[in-house]
Structure formats: structure tokens, C-alpha cells
Structure 1
């Protein structure tokens, strides 16, 4: 029987003396799913993302991703986990301005110990597949927002991670570029890539995922098909 790719059980996380950022949160995501995490600012979405990425640890509960108990990892092991298991796409791209596009994309593989030539071969394949091979020698500052996000997607996919995490991936883009990136994420999922998108944008959730999980005040309140949620919110 197939095991879940993500298995969060009774996870809570509190910072300082404030209310819990997450409270008794449980979530299961299966291989090949595309799931949107919806909620307003401060609801706990970023905390959930950081726990999945091994950037933070829960106070209680367990976080398992692709068979790895992420909540038990030390800093060095968490860094190795992110290189091998996680691809991350950020709202503001997080590209290195002093590296050209090809070098930005190849960097994760080189950090993982892949030879430079092999890393750049894989980077070139991804840039071609994502329709931006012509920009391989350009620097990020010369690209549009949509092009920079495609570079970020290529970088996230370089080490063939089982899980792709996207944090407000269209938040810094104009409408046309945002729709382009949304279609790209849908295509990646159709090819089998497991995808978790953290967003407050219902339109993005509806267009590139099949299931939504809503967080309110640190609590996961439901997880329904995106079309059902959009119909309810449209009333």
C-alpha cells in the first residue's frame, strides 16, 4: 500500500508567549497530489510550510515527509533533507543577482555534490523544458517577474525532489505572469510532481490544485475539493 508523502500528526507550534501559530494540526498528502493551503495572513500557513521544509520544529506532534521524521533532524541533517527531498518556490524568487540564470539553476545540485558539468546539463534541460533556455546567460535583473519565477521553478526541480513547496508563488507577479506560472504548476503536477501551494489566493488554489486545506487561527478547519470551496466563497 502506498504511504503518504506528507504525514503531520497533532502538530503544535508556539512562539514566545503568544497564541499557537499551529494548534493540533494534522495533514496527509499522498504522492502525486496538488494541495493548496489557504488562509489569511497570520493564520499559520508559513509556520506549516517551515515545518514541512525542516526550517522549524514543532513543540508537539510529528512531521514525516517521504519517510523522514523531519521533526527529529538536526541542522546539518535538515539541510541535507531539503537538498534531496524539497524544492521550494518563493514569492520574491530568491535568485542570486550576481549569478546568471544557468548558474542559479545549477547551484542546488552543486551544493549537493554533483559535478559542475552534470549540474549544468540538468539545468539546461530544465530551462529548455520551461521555455527559457534563451535566458541561460542572462542575469535575473534583466528578466520579467514571470521569467524569474520560471527560473526559480527550474532551480527547485533540479535535484528531482519528491515534494515541491510553493509559498505565494504568484504574489509578486502581474495577472498574466501569474496565470502562466499557475499553468506551469498544474503541468508539473500532471506529470506526477507532488505539490503544496501556500496562498491566500483562491483563484490560484482553484487553478493549480485539486484539494484545499484551510487554516484559521492555527487550526486546520477543513480540506475539500477546490471547486467546492470556490463555489461556497462565491455565494
Structure 2
């Protein structure tokens, strides 16, 4: 069964052209798909539909066997907790919480015991080279370290799907390479990844497949030859 299946999806926000226009797309388990396109092409709309943050005007969106297009707000939130981890360009960490508290939060909201949440957090931070920063606050970390914390938080509930929205857009080149290497390692271990980006180099490094969207439609859908390093991260 595909992890993601969009059939005839349309989304329109105003009287102008549709943000997405009759999009049909499937993503299989373990794929790393880079979604590229110019600003306004529909990339973010696609990501929001898959995350259950938006609904199509027409067509169906199914992720991990769940039909999203008919879900209410509460059911959409439950879906995200169970199946989706999200990494954003500007980290979206809570500055008044420590690294540990940021990372364990999704698990606690999902009903995981505090003991198990902290055990899982410790393993993730160790794997991602952040163990010595467990008690630090995000404002004391570099951009690359903060993005690693965001990845740890996204992986906390062992998501079916990891969504990354311009994950290196706010980073310097060295930190960006570090994060792209991490995403590649996670995918090599089986994590399904959707990467929305303007960065052709990032897409070439991380993706096993590249989908280009132009004016709300899928313009091309091609396999890529991204390198796969040896596994080293925790899932």
C-alpha cells in the first residue's frame, strides 16, 4: 500500500488560478521524494494537504491508509500525532523549554508515559550528537544544532512520514550539509521522507525521486540517484 495517495486533487484559495490542479501522486514506503517548483507553484499546499493541515476542494488524499479529505479538526490532530513528523525552515522550537522538553513534547501529547518519552528522547539525542545539549535552551545552540533538535522532535513518535519544509533554508552551508546528510541517513534506514525545497543540490543529495510542480500541476516525476551512506541514526 502506498504511504501517500493523492487522486485528482484540486485546491483553490480565491478567484485566481488553483494552487493545485488535478494532482495525482503516490509515494511508496521508504521513498525520499523531493518536491521542487518556483514560489507559488503549489509545493506548500501539497505539503499542507499531506499533513492534514488543509483539505482539497476536490479529489482524495490518503496517507497511511487514512482518508484525510473528510477528517475534522480533532481527527486530523490525532492523525498527525500518529503518523507525521514535521521539520520546518525556522525550527519552530519553544525557546523557554530545554532541548529535552522540546523533544519529548509530542510523545507526552500522544499519551506516552514520561519515563518512556525521556528514554526515547535520550536515545535520539545521543544518535543525533545532541546528548550534551539535553539541558540547554534552543537559543544557546547553533542553527544546525537547532535543526537537529527539530528532527529529533519530529521523530519522537516514530512517524510513518517525515515532512521537511525547506529544512536547510535558514542554515549556513556547513550546517545545511550536516542536516542533508542526516535526512539521507534516516531515509537509508527506511524513513519515508517528503522534502519541499527550492534547493536543487539538497534534492539531489537527499531524494530518491524528484517531483516538479509548475502552476499547480505535476510537471515531471523522475527517479534520482542520491547517494546512500551507511545507516547510523535511530528511528
Instruction: Using structure 1 for the length normalisation, give the TM-score.
Output: 0.95
What does 1:11-90 align with in structure 2 at a 5 Å threshold?
Answer: 11-90=9-88
Q: Does 1:122 align with 2:120?
A: yes
Instruction: Using structure 2 for the length normalisation, give the TM-score.
Output: 0.95
Distance 1:17 1:136 in 2: 49
CA offset digits 1:167-194 (Å, max 9, x no partner): 0000000000000000000000000000
Alignment match, 2:178:
180
What is the CA-CA distance between 1:114 and the residue it aligns to? 1.1
Distance 2:225 2:162 in 1: 22
Q: Does 1:165 align with 2:163?
A: yes
Q: Aligned with 1:72: secondary structure?
A: coil
Q: Detail structure 1 runs of 4+ shifted over 2 Å in the superposition.
A: 225-228
Q: Aligned with 1:71: secondary structure?
A: coil
Q: Aligned with 2:82: secondary structure?
A: helix
Distance 2:83 2:16 in 1: 32
What is the CA-CA distance between 1:226 and the residue it aligns to? 3.1
CA offset digits 1:29-64 (Å, max 9, x no partner): 000000000001111000000000000000000000
**Where does the alignment leave 5 or more consecutive residues of structure 2 unmatched?**
227-235
Matched positions, count:
226
Q: CA RMSD in A?
A: 1.0
Q: Which structure has the highest helix share of the two? A: 1
